[in-house]
Structure 1
Amino acid sequence: MRPAPPQPRCWFFLSYAHSQPLPGREETDTDGNVRTFFRHLSAEVARLTGAGEGTQVGFFADLAEAGSNWKAVQSEMLAVADVFVALYSPNYFNKSWPMREREAFLQRLSTVLPAQEQRLRHVVPVLWVPLPPWNDIPEHGTALALGRGVPEYEENGLRALCMLRVYQPAYRRILQRLAQHIVDVARTSPVGPSAPLQIDEVRPERRPVRPAGDTEKPFLISVLCPTLEHLPEGRSPTPYGATRQRWRPFGAMRELPVADYAANTAERRGLPTRIIDATQDGAAELFDTCPTLLLLDPWTLAAPGGAEILALVAKHLHPWVTCLVVADRQDPEHAGRGAELSTQATARLGRIGARRVITVLDVDELANRMPAIVESTRKEYLSTGMVFPPKGPHETRPTLRGRRQGPGTSGKEE
């Protein structure tokens, strides 16, 4: 039997601010300038390596074929790429997927390259869009170093250089410099292929590029559902995972947890997001200061300690907290007990103070309504949450005459 031909080498993996495709949806949030830059960088790397015409020398998410297992393709390419090129922009750090890509690549390197300095050579940050002056991204300096001697790069970012004809000489200099770095690192410090990580299980630390005290809070996705360890009696374990964040209520959407789906929808609207387990210490208190979508599995009421779990959020169901009761009418266990629990959950939420309660019973309804749910939740927070904060101590605002006194004080200045 003739051996299979060797696979082309993946010299670089291009990471940028994008979201995971929504199941069953053809929409994409890929910036067309990223495609153009990827094509130019691939051509330059191919020239330096002598790769044949048409040979794929790099990868980015838009190359995954429609209908393919997108996450598996991403994981496989991260496991064989030599260099990770990250297009830094404010949204890069506010979207969960590029941060997962980066963390998965770093975890792979940690198993084959013992020295941190050696590992960091394989991660090349590029200033795609200028970051705000208050950013605290340690690699910002490395991204700027790529453009040393090219002031147009630091001032405008590589995206503008790629777009505008007037900047083409500067763009070509950065492009050639980056391609040469990729080839040099891959040749002098080869890492070889590794076993793919499950990228959807990677949970990196989020580093939103925002100043302390910025008025835009993260859009919270909070989950209340059973876990494999605490299942209701007689309930199938299929929709559940080791953590609440892994809950997959719909058989037609098993590959994407409903919390990730909601976060993906919010991210596509430019909102920084955060997924939390509502039962963790202090988690419900975040509802007080953030627009919040609470995802509730009705089977929570039948789980051990279900009533106590729901009570954890009772004091934090502000007008800007949307409670979404999620069930699957196609689930064989929904008919009968599941439907009864859905009715009970809606009624219980109303009794404990929830003002915004919505029920969805199939995946198409979830997909059609989720964008509007995200938008209305955020708008409610902007109109009421920021104007009328929850009761309790608050920082007094400075005035020209001193500090304004809080409610209930004499109003006299000391």
Structure 2
Amino acid sequence: MTPPHLSPPGPPTRATPPAGRPWASWPACRRPISARCCAGREWRREGPAPSRWPDSPPRRDPTSWDLPGSRLLLRQLTGILSRVGGVGPGGAVRPYFFFSYARRDHMAGGAFVDQFFSDLRDELARIEPAAGPGELAYRDTERLRVGDDWEQQLSRMLAVSRTMVALYSPAYFASSYCGKEWTAFDGRMRRHQKLTGEAVPALIPVVWEPPPAGLPAEVLRIQYSQHDLGVAYATGGLRDLLRADPHGPDYRRVVRAIAERVREAACLPLTELPHLDLGRVDGCFPVPDAVPPPGRSGMVRIFVAAGRAAARRTADPSRAGGRTADAAVYAVPGIPAQRQDEDRYRGGWYGDRPRDWAPYHPPRLPSLVVQAQQAITQAGHSTTLEEVGPGLAASLDLARENNEVSVLLVDPWAAGAEPYRQALRDFDDQNHPVTGVLVPAGTDDPPEGPARSRLWGGVRDVFPRNWLHRSGPEPLFKVRVPRERFETDLLRTVTVAQNRLLDETDEVDPVLARAAFGLGPGVAAMPALLIPAWPPAVSPEAALPPAPREPREGDSER
């Protein structure tokens, strides 16, 4: 429909308002003659519009930024313009947020850190669809390439990123390099406020674990708790929410709130630092009280029971002509052949050796064994690798005698078949208190239903005794371990096994027993744990009853 005050090109005529319609009700088009508007078509004004419509408020000078709310509007418009293309001077990409975290937190639970980073980036992409995939976030592990000067690149990206998301934890405040990153970005905000007079809250803390006491005044100046994010987040941190339910409403609420905060802060342009060298930054932490105690080191022996790719194709008599079928399609014994067509699940990705088994897809590392060895090594331990076989019990006993703990990685699809079934049944019949068992739930396992029940029912038949204790306070037998919990459950199992080995050791000399775990006499005793773990040696003289005491003056009569 043609606007009432516009008409197709033609000789200009003087505009006359319709009867009963005042000028004030006409649309106030201020476009010049022959301007393109509406759907790109060319229109002309029907006549000279009055300089001021009747009954309209007086016009203000649009160049004046002293009007109410105009400064805020100017900052928002400037922020929107600065976000177009996500590039700064010189073509440098300006990510929405710089991801600052402690390496120790990633080593202890890399799957949790990775999931939060991915979820935050995906949520930001959802609420900010105009942002390109390369400008949403910066994380060193995703952008650094072989041969890059990592410190120079971190300095450059920290100097241009619009915000910084910092994962607060005791490990974060014990890291000197995290202190450099935090101090450099905080200094950048202070510099911007000094130059422009505007405070931009671009440093966004996330409580990963409750931070330690004695934080610097600079850190306490920035609020890191928020009441509407829930009590669980405030008391336990985001990592506990991920452990409890990685897709639960409490966790999702925090992710959405952080993404909204990043978007709001990114709208306000923050002055870039032309020359930032993190190597020269004097960080305001590490905090002495936040330095975690050295972890207990030792040997961890890994035993794996998994299928092989070479053994996966066998003859299927139910098929015409005896054609070959994939034997690992359903590896639970006792399943009729006619069920295999309806339950076609592979259980993982296999290789020529059991150590090549990869139940999670896509795999983060070549195999589950490699992932387990890397996590255990980064935690300060050493590892060995063996395949489960008939001599499993003897190997576990020998490891226990040598003050070593063991972990069994069991493929649920291969547990009920030889050569593993009998060895695992013997393990379940015996007592191995310093050996953990992890049975992962693969990405390609069947969903809830009869097929899944039969799969895990077969595992229960192999481990009937351990299955009953899988829900104890400190279980060493963990089943249905998903991808996001594997490394955390693995390291927790190793810690529980080492604690049990330390508690039940029968060494004559307790000093030697503690020295085997790196707990020498120079290590300070922990508070509230001053009771000795071993009773003092009793000499023959001390075993005799005490001699009667001579009466003394002042003793009361009895």
TM class, shorter-chain normalised?
0.3 to 0.5
Q: TM-score, normalised by structure 1?
A: 0.45
**In terms of Rg, which structure is larger?**
2
Q: Per chain length, whose mean CA-contact separation is higher, i.e. which structure has more relative contact order (CA < 8 Å, sep 6+)?
A: 1
Q: TM-score, normalised by structure 2?
A: 0.34
